[in-house]
Each structure stands twice: as structure tokens, then as C-alpha cells.
Structure 1
Amino acid sequence: MRIHRRGRVLAAVAGVGIATLALAGCTGDMEEGGGEADCSDYEEYGTFEDAAVTIGGTILDLEADRLVESWSDFAECTGIEIDYQGSSEFEAQIAVLAEGGNAPDIGIVPQPGLLARLAQGGWLIPASEAVEANVDEFWSEDWKTYGTYDGTFYAAPLMASIKGYIWYSPTEFEENGWEIPATLDDLSALSQEIADAGDHKPWCVGLESGEATGWPGTDWIEDYMLRLHGADVYDQWVTHGIPFNDPQVVEAFDAVGEYLKNDDMVNGGIGDVSTQISEAFQTAGLPILDGECSLHHQASFYETFWNPEGGDEVQVASDGDIFGFLLPPANAEDPLSVTGGGEFPVAFRDAEEVEAVRAYLSSDTWANNRVSLGGVISANTGVDPENASSELLVQSIEILQDPETTFRFDGSDLMPGAVGAASFWQGIVEWVGGADTQSVVNEIEASWPAS
């Protein structure tokens, strides 16, 4: 799934985080820290009196604090008071709030499928010319498409993530002479080698995420669909050009099942296969640090969870405590293909101050500001990769900016909500719990809306 699904991921953190910034007037004096804002970067957005914009989303805790900081100078220089409220229930509630006329001015939605649902309801305001101009300049056509519904452009991308990283301990790999796998077969062989050694299970996995439990498993399936069958088949799958119970989908499930349904492979440092369902995705990779497992499949945003309080006790680097390699291709000569996710700030109120905020959030200025604060990446081509907070995130931005990369958005985020945010998640839980592949994919196929 998919904040990812980064936004979805952060939505799953328990509790509600609230971060509010209310700064009026471009005085040049910051209330905190005594610094001065350089308003030259924000002149194009104008200045406002008694203007306020509310923003809602799934981003919580440390990430919410950083989000607020990313627009602090903009708010001061334009005079727009910005109030952000994050909630773990945002995705479930936003359509109800919109229907009742109680939605925030801007909603940061982590799924193109949810964006489409809100647009179908007639609740969204199309993006302004300034927002569209930024997207045309700084984003690929694919990313613009994700913010478009029925020919109308509603929202620019915000942050991004790359799915399919395999987190590992560089020290453990070096001590055992293990090589980074070049193919899926190599990864299977490495996993078997670790299992045969008998010291610990090779993989640690957590699928628990509140009402969204199961989504980390959908990421596995999506990664294998793209690598085993290519981008064209992946596109057919997420748009129902092929049925969900197509033999190619079954093949992807069965390949993933060699790990997730195998007592020899999971769940290192946690328990048996069944514990994947109860183990929170946020903590599932941590047994690597204690030598209780060796491999953990999770997106680039997982870097934040190694140091959840914002410290640097765990060094994320190729020569540090933890690092990641991308799930390898089926064949070594295959082009680089990755899945990923992102968020989209949609508007529920038509106002100049709302579009000024959205224009800023779609700019290279905002993207560089936010990336520099740490923990995230962006597919905005105006971002300097060196602004990222770690070696892995620098690499991730370079992958997103590389025109040779085949990028596909998280599949469940593109599917209708009845599938991508319901039967697919639930099917993963049933499948890991013991249901056979064919019955699970048949159930998911039966849930696909008729129109």
C-alpha cells in the first residue's frame, strides 16, 4: 500500500499528531531560533492579510513536525496562517468530511485511487495554472497522471518513496562473505543459505497496520509482478486489463509465498509465520540490529524507523549499522524497475491563499527545503540529491530522476478502493494465515467493481 504508501505508512502509526504553525506577516524575524526568513524566495506567491489555510493528512509525529518546518518561512513571508492536523483516521474519514462540507482546505492524500474517489464525489477543486506549471516543469508525465482524474488535473505530487528495498546489516554481510544478490534466484539462494545455517530465520516481517493490516504484503506482490512480468503486464493488472486471478498474478503470489508462508524463512526474532500478522510494520525490521534476522523488505521511508526519535544512534550507510539494496530483477540484464508511492495535496476550497500554498508545495523550493530536513525523498527533478539526509536517500532520488528507470506507482494505491484498500489487504492476511493462493486471488477478483 502504500505512504504507500509513505502517507499510508505514517497513517498507520498509532494516535493523532497535531502540528500547527501560525505566522502572520513577513517581518523577517522568526519567532523560534531568532533567525531571519529570506522572503525573496516567496515573492511570487504574494502577501495576504487575515488569510488562513487548514491542511489534513496522514503524516504524524516527527514527520509532521518536519512538514510544518518546511513551510515556516513561506508562511511568515506570505502572511498565510497554516494549520496542519495529522490523523491516523484521515483516509477513512476524508470522504465523509468532504460530503458533510467539513473537509480541510487541503488534504494530503496518499493514493491516486482515493483522489479519484474524491473527484468522483465532486468535492475537489482543480489545480491552478501555477500548480500545473510546476508539475510540467519538475515532474514526469506519469506523476502528473497520478494527480489527474477523468482529464482534469487536481493535484501535484508531494513527497515520494521507493518500495522494494531489502534492509540488511553491512557488517553481517561482510563477516559472512555474502554478496548483494544480483537476481531473484540469488536472493532465494542467500535466504536458503541463512536458513540452513540455523542461527536465525533469514527474514523478519510485519504486516500489522491497524485497519490497513496486510498492506506490506501487497508491496511484496507488486514488486514481484513488476520484476517477473514487466511494466506492461503490471499496468494491465492494476487497471483490470487482466483479472486479479490471472496465472501471472498467481505466479507472483507463489514466489512471495516461498518466503512469507515458509516457516524456515520467517519470522526471525519474532515468532512463527503467524506472527507476521500481529507484528507492527514499524518495528518488524528491528531484529536485524540484534542479529535475530538478516533481511527486511520495506520502502525507503523505513529509514525513519531505525531512529524513530530523530536521533542518529543507528547509522544508515553502506558502511554503517544498516543499509538497503533494491529487490533484484529476475534477470541480471533486466532494466532497473521499481515501485513506489507518494502523496497529493488536493484542495476542497477555492481560494487564492489555498492555491498559493499548493503552488509552493509543488515547487522545487519546497522540495529542497523538505528533503534537507531529513527522512524523505521527492521525485521533483529540481531536487538536489545531495540535500537528502542519507546515502540511501541520495541514491533513491537519483533513481527517481534517472530517465532510464522504469517506475510504477504502488499497485494497490491505483486500484479501486474496494480492492486496493480492502480485499487485497484482507486477502494477504488470509493468505499468510494459511489460505491457498488460488482461493485468495479468486476472492479478490470477485471484489473488483463492475464499473
Structure 2
Amino acid sequence: MASSRARRGVVTALAVTGALTLTGCLQNPDPDAGGGGFGAQSSPDPGDGSVTVLGAFGGAEEELFVESLAVFEEESGIDVVYTSDQDFTTTILLRVNSGDAPDVGLFPQPGGVMQMAADGQVIPIDQMIDYDALDATLVSGFLDSARYQGRVYAAPMRMAVKSIVWYPKEAYEEGGWSTEPASLDELDEIAEQIKADTDAAPWCIGWESAQATGWVGTDWIEEYMLRLHGPDVYDDWMYGRIPFDDPRVVEAFEAYGELANEEGNVLGGTTAILSTPFADAMAPAFQPEPDCYLMRQGNFATTFFPADVQENLDEEVGIMTFPPAEDGYDGQPILGGGDLAAAFSFDEDTVALMEFLTSDEFGGPWAEAGGWLSPHTSFDTSLYPDETTRQIAEMAYTADVFRYDASDVMPKEVGSDSFWKGMVDFQNGASAEEVTAQIWETWPEAQRQVDGESEDE
């Protein structure tokens, strides 16, 4: 571990040196794009030796974040002051609007970045980071999550992967079923084989999450939208450039319904989906005789597995990528999320930190401790603590396109309200047409972009 940290320190020093000599706009992805309120050719101001950072994570994650900055601080001489705020979304808006913005904000969703970019309050990343070099090592499509009017205003410092199908390794392999389905049709065939070969249901699905019940269902629709219709249509849907009740969205709902509502496909049947806590969904798979076998959920799911499973993850759990649709998007998409770093000041120290945070050199100690994934395909994967984590990272690194969780980008009236509620209604028997139409009614008129109503993106 010492040698890897030493290597990171050398590279960090070079990154800081580059930042301190930076001038001008680096590889603006759209020369005609807006400047976000900052002059495109301005140079960074001198730093004062300190950079303030505001983020949402605390506890053990905060400790690992701070540890991951130690080499940067030592090599650069810059002091990074991190503040954790669980109400980050509200706090960052209040502080920016009151003129008390941190130098850097770590956004758990891109929506806030987009809002501030529209208001000219955040600095485009191409003004401080070599855009082309950054894009070359990032998971394909990640930068699009913070693109506004053709320009990008934040870059990822952490990645989450959602398109994972988990299974109890020993029991599943004893069943002899495929671990590499090439399409959704082949995944359906596996489900039929499990039903034929066992007394169990193939799928473990649980949505219950108190007032947030339904969010798990939104992930399923996002997975199908990406696979059936590809990233361009997905983006149009996510940004309101097509109505929420577009026939292609209805098709995604119905595709999910065919999987979840088919007799015997889900443990407990369709009613159990809403009453089973999402954190408990896969627990029946770890019994000596599993009651279900497959769960589609993000990489954070491991934190809810039984303690003995977590302690021996590589032997207890197997994973495969939620596959593409045979007649849909021609490629393997990945749905995910992550923390995005955005800058509110433009001085040499902030530029240096932004370069480091968004590079493949950041995060070594965090990766070694577990629970953190780098969004860079060039990251040293040997730092991950187990093979399962490496496999999850490779899913994203080798994907054809990455897209951010759409409900985290949509207007809050939709993404964390009517979309969740609509999924509950759909699971309770409402039709896809009814549900999608009701959700579209809640989409704020000012944020609709259908037929060129708005230029924002």
C-alpha cells in the first residue's frame, strides 16, 4: 500500500504543477456554449493555501475521503477543509445564493448543478481541467450527467453502478444456469429454467422504503428505457424533451411488468413487492434452500447482505450485468450514479483540487477500504478489496454507455415524488398508460422541452 501511495504522490505533484500554470479554456466541448457566468479566457486567481469543500457524506466515508486527500495536501501544501451536511441539497443552494459558497461542492445528484449552471453560479470544468484528457479515462457518457447547453459543469469523483444482477453463488452454480446472459430474452429463459428446476421464484424484488416506496421501481424503468431505446431517447425522456407518457416510456413500463407480474416470477407474488423492504429483498436467497435467486440492485446492496456473506463476498455472491435488449440499443448500457465535483471559486488552489478529485489518482485509501468505485477506466483496480468489487467496476469500465439515474435528474416534483408514487400505482394494477400520463401532468410546465419549448439541458 505504501508504494501505491508514493506513486499517487508523484502524480499528484505533477497535477498541482499543471494547475498552477493553467491559463485559458481547455477543450471546450462546445465553443458556442454559454460561459456559466465566467469569462471563457480568464485565468485563475492566486490561491490562499486553503480550499473549502461541502458534501453530503459523513462518518466513515468522511474519514476515508479525508484520508484520500492526505497525499494531495502533503504534496501541494494546500489545506482542504471538508464539511459534511446531510441536507446538502438545501444547504448548498442557500449558501450559493447568499454569497457564502464553498470552493467546491460534491453533489450526490446532478440536478442542483444544472440549476446553478443555468443561474451562472458554477464554473465550467473545461475552464480548469483538460476536458479531453478527462473524458478519455472516464466511463463513457459520465460527463453528460452535468451537461447544460452543451457545456459540462461538474465531474465525477465517485461512481455507483446499478445494473447488477446478484445471485447466491453456490446454489446458483449448482443449478447450472447461465451466468452470462447475452440479452433480456436469455435472462427470461434463465428465470423459466429456475422455475422448472426448483420450487423457488427466480426473482427477489422488494420496494418497501417508508415514504420513499417506489424508488426501486424507477430504477427498473430506467434500465428498460436504456436497453429498449438507447441513451439518446433516454436523455430526451430524462430532460422532458419527450412526454413522460410517450409510447416508448409506456413500452418500458410494460416490459418491466412482464417480468414482475408473471405468475411465479417473484417471491411472494406481485403484492409482496410493495411490502418487502428493499434491504431485505435478497435475504431469502441466502438460505440453505433459496426461495429466490436473482436480484437487480446497485453495488450498495452488499451493505444489506447477512454479515457472513459480507465477510466472504467472493465465495458467497455471484454477479452478472443486467443485459441489453436483443432488438433495442446496440450495446451494453450501464445505469448508475455518483458524486459530482463542481467549483464555485476560480483560484489556483481550487483548480488543483478539482484536477486531483476528478483524476484516476484520487480515492486509493477509500477503494482499499471498500464501498467506493472510481469512475475512471484507468484506475488501479488492484486497490479494490475483493474480486466482486473489481467485477462491478469492470461492468462500468467496459460498458458502451453510462447514464445517470434519471429520477435524480428529473424535476423533484417528478423524480422524487410522482414517479415513485406512479410506480406504486403501477404495481398495484394501474395501466402503464394511466400512470405515465399522471406523472407527465406533474412535470413543471417551465421545465418541459417538448417541441423546442425550452433550450435548457
- In the other structure, the counterpart of 1:158 is 157
The two structures, once aligned, show a CA RMSD in angstroms of: 3.6
- In the other structure, the counterpart of 1:251 is 251
Q: CA deviation at 1:345?
A: 1.0
Change (3 A) 1:137 1:84: same
Query: 1:102-121 alignment to 2 at 5 Å?
Result: 102-121=100-119
Structure 1 window deviating more from structure 2 (39-48 vs 178-187): it is: 39-48
Change (3 A) 1:233 1:61: same
Q: Distance in 2 between matches of 1:282 and 1:81?
A: 38
Q: Distance in 2 between matches of 1:100 and 1:279?
A: 43
- In the other structure, the counterpart of 1:378 is 374
CA contact (8 A) 1:364 1:383 kept: yes
Q: Distance in 1 between matches of 2:84 and 2:269?
A: 34
TM-score, normalised on structure 1?
Answer: 0.77
- In the other structure, the counterpart of 1:131 is 129
SS in 2 for 1:174: helix
The one-letter code matched in structure 2 to 1:111 is: Q
Deviations 1:185-241 (Å, cap 9, x if unpaired)? 332233344456674433223334566542221111111122223344333333434
The one-letter code matched in structure 2 to 1:240 is: G
Q: Distance in 2 between matches of 1:144 and 1:160?
A: 12
Query: 1:403-422 alignment to 2 at 5 Å?
Result: 405-422=400-417
Change (3 A) 1:38 1:359: closer
Q: Distance in 2 between matches of 1:228 and 1:216?
A: 19
Q: Distance in 2 between matches of 1:97 and 1:426?
A: 31
SS in 2 for 1:376: coil
Structure 1 window deviating more from structure 2 (435-444 vs 40-49): it is: 40-49
**Percent identity of the aligned residues?**
35
Deviations 1:301-358 (Å, cap 9, x if unpaired)? 43444478xx9744333xx101211112232995323222222112234444333322
1:441 corresponds to 2:436: yes
The one-letter code matched in structure 2 to 1:410 is: D
The one-letter code matched in structure 2 to 1:431 is: F
Q: Distance in 2 between matches of 1:49 and 1:191?
A: 58
The one-letter code matched in structure 2 to 1:359 is: E
CA contact (8 A) 1:37 1:77 kept: no
Select the residue among 305, 319, 341 that pairs with 1:345.
Answer: 341
Change (3 A) 1:259 1:141: closer
Q: CA deviation at 1:104?
A: 3.9
Deviations 1:349-407 (Å, cap 9, x if unpaired)? 444433332221012211555434433322323313333333233234334344x7233
Q: Distance in 2 between matches of 1:229 and 1:146?
A: 18
Gaps of 5+ in 2: 21-45, 447-457
SS in 2 for 1:294: strand
Deviations 1:156-200 (Å, cap 9, x if unpaired)? 221223322110012111222222344323322333444566744
Q: Distance in 2 between matches of 1:236 and 1:445?
A: 14
Deviations 1:274-297 (Å, cap 9, x if unpaired)? 454455444433332223421111
Structure 1 window deviating more from structure 2 (177-186 vs 94-103): it is: 94-103
1:428 corresponds to 2:423: yes
- In the other structure, the counterpart of 2:352 is 356
Change (3 A) 1:265 1:373: same
SS in 1 for 2:156: coil
- In the other structure, the counterpart of 1:289 is 286
The one-letter code matched in structure 1 to 2:203 is: W
The one-letter code matched in structure 1 to 2:112 is: L
Change (3 A) 1:264 1:38: closer
CA contact (8 A) 2:139 2:402 kept: no
- In the other structure, the counterpart of 2:188 is 188
1:220 corresponds to 2:210: no
- In the other structure, the counterpart of 1:9 is none
Q: Distance in 2 between matches of 1:275 and 1:102?
A: 47
Select the residue among 54, 65, 68 that pairs with 1:67.
Answer: 65
The one-letter code matched in structure 2 to 1:315 is: N
- In the other structure, the counterpart of 2:265 is 265
CA contact (8 A) 2:336 2:404 kept: yes
The one-letter code matched in structure 1 to 2:134 is: V
Change (3 A) 1:103 1:276: farther
Q: Distance in 1 between matches of 2:71 and 2:211?
A: 36
- In the other structure, the counterpart of 2:450 is none
Q: CA deviation at 1:299?
A: 1.9
SS in 1 for 2:157: coil
- In the other structure, the counterpart of 1:20 is none
Structure 1 window deviating more from structure 2 (141-150 vs 441-450): it is: 141-150
SS in 1 for 2:71: helix
Select the residue among 312, 320, 323 that pairs with 1:328.
Answer: 323
Gaps of 5+ in 1: 1-29
Q: CA deviation at 1:60?
A: 4.4
The one-letter code matched in structure 1 to 2:342 is: V
- In the other structure, the counterpart of 2:52 is 54
Change (3 A) 1:287 1:62: farther
Report the count of equivalent residues: 410
1:395 corresponds to 2:412: no
Deviations 1:107-158 (Å, cap 9, x if unpaired)? 2113233310122244323437443455255336733333332344322221
Q: CA deviation at 1:99?
A: 2.7
1:204 corresponds to 2:204: yes
Select the residue among 362, 369, 381 that pairs with 1:366.
Answer: 362
CA contact (8 A) 1:381 1:401 kept: yes
- In the other structure, the counterpart of 1:23 is none
CA contact (8 A) 1:164 1:220 kept: no
- In the other structure, the counterpart of 2:452 is none
Q: Distance in 2 between matches of 1:82 and 1:354?
A: 9
